[in-house]
Amino acid sequence: MPVEIDGKVYYRTQEASRKIGISRATLFRWLNAGVLKKLGRDTRGWRLFTEEDLNKIRMKANKVEIKEEPQAIEPKNSRRENNRRT
């Protein structure tokens, strides 16, 4: 359940990961990679996420990277194949 502090709504880790649609492990991995630079915490040290934080993470979750795969080099016919054809 979201927490309201000074009129602002915050989500804890499990709530944030559910709302974004990623696992907690993925969320922690992205946090360690620096997706968010500054993150709030409550008095227990638990992470608190704002809607703005969730939007930044969603952008990461929905990012599509297209990488071209190297072209496969077709092997030249081997001697065995050449011998079979004759």
Which range marks the domain in which residue 19 is found? Answer: 3-61
CATH number for 22: 1.10.1660.10
Whether 79 is covered by a domain: the verdict is no
Residue 74 has pLDDT above 60, yes or no: yes
- pLDDT for residue 61: 80
Q: Is 69 part of any domain?
A: no
Q: Cα angle at 19 between 56 and 38, to 5 degrees?
A: 35
Say if 21 falls within a structural domain.
yes
Residue 67, domain member (yes or no): no
| pTM for the model | 0.67
How many domains does the chain fold into?
Answer: 1
Residue 73 lies in a domain: no
The pLDDT of residue 84 is: 61
Whole-Å CA distances, 10 to 5, 42, 52, 70: 7, 10, 10, 45
